[in-house]
Copies of this chain bind each other. A is one copy, B any other.
Amino acid sequence: MASNIVKFREYMKLIGQLKQVERTGWVRNGVKDPESVAEHMYRMAMMSFALPSDSGLDKDKCIKIALVHDMAESVVGDLTPWCGVSKEEKSRREEEATSRITSLIPGEGGKEMYNLWLEYEHQKSPEAKFVKDMDKLEMLFQAYEYEEMHKKPGHLQEFFDHTRETFKFTTEFAENWCKELVSQRSQSLEDSKDKSTTESDSVVPEAKKRKKEELEAENV
């Protein structure tokens, strides 16, 4: 028992670390007080919870994959393509960390966590593919929310471009949700451009304004 308690304490510490690890993509782009890896996984689990009952997927499994898929980041940090670590090396480090964390949970629980992580890592099942879709979609929602929150329309365009260029959604609902989000964001960008044009109109120098009035008078 004592040994299990010591292991559980270590497990708690490592899982707690996920509250401290900031998502690298936001840090790189100067987002103030960005979300943690734990927060990202929380919303992904809640997106999985919202899975329609006719999806044909095992919802509880999706929730659990969402909860464990980035747990290694408590040890290795949030490695992105910009971190200078090869895909193979990233995968090796994450496997080692996941193995270490899940070995702290005795019996079937730890094994289940590890196997779900592996299923996600190798994209072995429809559930793993769905959660990968949620990973990208949650990021895009967050990017748009940060743009709105910090009043910087278009500031995180890179995330939308990179996802479009390198990723293909595998589930229809994720694809639909993404389209809707992109369309809403485009509309917001248009609105903010119109607004900034109107604003710049209202502060045009007096001389320019008079010139405009003269031109308008000529057209009458």
Partner-B contacts on A (CB < 8 A): 1, 5, 8-9, 11-13, 15-16, 18-19, 33, 35-36, 38-39, 41-43, 45-47, 49-54, 59-60, 63-64, 67-68, 71, 105-110, 113, 141-142, 145, 176-177, 180-181, 184
Contact call A49/B67, Cβ cutoff below 8 A? yes
- Chain B nearest CB from A184 CB (Å) reads 7
Contact call B46/A67, Cβ cutoff below 8 A? yes
Give me 18 A-to-B residue pairs in the complex whose CB atoms sit less than 8 angstroms apart, sorted by A's number.
Answer: A9-B180, A9-B184, A12-B47, A12-B141, A16-B43, A16-B145, A19-B43, A38-B39, A39-B39, A41-B42, A49-B64, A49-B68, A51-B109, A52-B106, A52-B107, A59-B109, A60-B63, A63-B64
CB < 8 Å: which of B33, B42, B109, B176 contacts A53? B109
Given contacts A42-B67, A176-B1, A176-B5, contact A35 B50 (CB under 8 A): no
- Contacts of A38 on B, CB cut-off 8 Å? 38-39, 42-43
Residue on B nearest A51 in the bound complex, by CB: B109
- Chain B nearest CB from A193 CB (Å) reads 22
Q: How many copies does the complex hold?
A: 2
- Contacts of A53 on B, CB cut-off 8 Å? 107-109
- Chain B nearest CB from A91 CB (Å) reads 22
Besides A16-B43, A50-B109, A52-B109, 11 new A-B residue pairs in contact (Cβ under 8 A), listed by A number: A5-B176, A5-B180, A9-B181, A12-B141, A18-B43, A39-B42, A49-B64, A49-B105, A53-B107, A63-B64, A63-B67
Contact call B50/A11, Cβ cutoff below 8 A? yes
Given contacts A63-B64, A64-B49, contact A5 B42 (CB under 8 A): no
- Contacts of A181 on B, CB cut-off 8 Å? 9
Contact call B50/A5, Cβ cutoff below 8 A? no
Q: How distant is the Cα of A189 from the Cα of B106 in the complex, in angstroms?
A: 30
